[in-house]
Amino acid sequence: MIRRFALLQTFVAVARAGKMKQAAHELALTPGAVSQRIRQLEEVAGRRLFTRTSTGVELSAAGEAMFVALAEPFQAIEAVDKELGALSSRRVTVSTVPSFAATWLVPRLAMFGRLYPDIEIAVEASTRPVDLKREPIDLAIRHGLGKYPGLESTWLVAPELIVVASTDLLKNRAPLRRPADCLAFPLLHDLNRQDWPLWFEAHGVTAPHAKKGPAFSESHLIVRAAVAGQGLALVQDIYVDDDLRSQRLVKALTGNWPLQFAYYAVATAEAMQKPAVRRFRDWLVEEVRQEV
């Protein structure tokens, strides 16, 4: 059953237009659907609200009285809806992981604000994967392989992660020469447990148990666990510079970074229709290209 508000909204549209077809176009409905709604409203009201003419429809006396009662309230509702739509079109809600937000995105947002002062950016930093099709998020910056079915993804940047370990963990063990060799050691994870599996996948290594091992909410905790000899850590070099210099940690494996394992700007096709979202995505692309 169609909600009564929708029936009243349809009635007001037909009363203003004087034609079912024009009202249907404004409401993005078929003329048949509009006629059905008007019939349902007339059944609820218990009286005819329109009479047909050679050029369209005219309000009956009962319809005229209803329109007088509804016209001003609906005009106020439409004004608020228009204002909300204008605000929404200028606001971009972005979801990304805290590490990327803190080290890359947030320090550059002032520059975006100077270029586009009319666009508001709201950043939600969380390790929780958001559902872009269901949640009020316009764009997500995700770290992965760019495989996001049903979504549009744009490659941004592939910051290199390094495999580090304590010398005690590696002592009396054969040196690591290829990614698959890491599977012989405990692996340290963030709470999503995605970096190691994606890293192995990017290298073409089958690793069904790559998510096993302790997980931590912060990168510095992963590093502390690595220093304590609890396993291999896959982290950005900025988090381990001091530990590498002091040799509390060493690079356990060297090699070329798989460029497809990167940060991607991801959004639905619908969200990408918003000019503000497209501008922000294009600005992200330009920013990372200038730094390469």
Please indicate, yes or no, if residue 79 is contained in any of the structural domains. no
N-to-C CA span, the chain: 57
| CATH code at position 123 | 3.40.190.10
Do 202 and 118 belong together in one domain?
no
44/22 Cα distance (integer angstroms): 24
Secondary structure (DSSP) of 157-221: E-PPEEEEE-HHHHTTSPPP-SGGGGGGS-B-EETT--HHHHHHHHTT---TTTT-S-EESSHHH
Angle (CA) 78-72-45 rounded to 5° is 100
Residues 267 and 277: beta-carbon distance below 8 Å:
yes
Its domain, for residue 9, covers 4-59
- Asked if the structure places residue 265 within a domain, the reply is yes
Residue 84 belongs to a domain:
no
Among 59, 75, 104, where does a domain finish? 59
Has residue 192 been placed in a domain?
Answer: yes
Place of tokens 């099709």: 133
Is the Cβ–Cβ distance between 277 and 132 less than 8 Å? Answer: no
> How much of the chain is in helix, strand and coil states, percent to nearest 5?
50, 20, 35
* pLDDT (0 to 100) of residue 78: 79
Q: How many CA atoms lie within 13 A of 89 on its CB side?
A: 9
Asked if residue 64 belongs to a domain, the reply is no
Residue 1: per-residue pLDDT? 47
pLDDT computed for residue 86 by the predictor? 56
Number of domains the chain is built from: 3
Q: Decide if 78 is inside a domain.
A: no
Type and span of the H or E element at 144 = strand 139-144
Q: What is the pLDDT of residue 84?
A: 62
- Residues 116-135 pLDDT 10s: 998 999 999 988 889 999 99
Q: Domain check: are 268 and 143 in the same one?
A: yes
Q: What is the pLDDT of residue 182?
A: 96
* pLDDT the model gives residue 103: 83
pLDDT at 87: 52
- The sheet with strand 152-157 has its strands ordered as 120-125, 91-96, 139-144, 262-267, 152-157
Cα separation, 30 vs 259, in Å, equals 49
Question: Same domain for 101 and 46?
Answer: no
Judgement on whether residues 145 and 280 belong to the same structural domain of the protein: yes
Q: What is the pLDDT of residue 206?
A: 94
- Residues 200-210 as b or e (16 or more Cβ within 10 Å = b): bbbbebebeeb
Q: Based on the domain organization, do 149 and 222 belong to the same domain?
A: no
Residue segments in the chain with a per-residue pLDDT below the cut of 70: 1-2, 82-89, 292
Q: What is the pLDDT of residue 126?
A: 87
For residues 132 and 270, membership in a common domain is answered with yes
What confidence score (pLDDT) does residue 208 get? 92
pTM of the model: 0.63
HEC-encoded secondary structure of 5-69:
HHHHHHHHHHHHHCCHHHHHHHHCCCHHHHHHHHHHHHHHHCCCCEEECCCCEEECHHHHHHHHH
Residues 166 and 152 placed together within one structural domain of the fold: no
Is 77 part of any domain?
A: no
- 214 lies in the same domain as 285: no
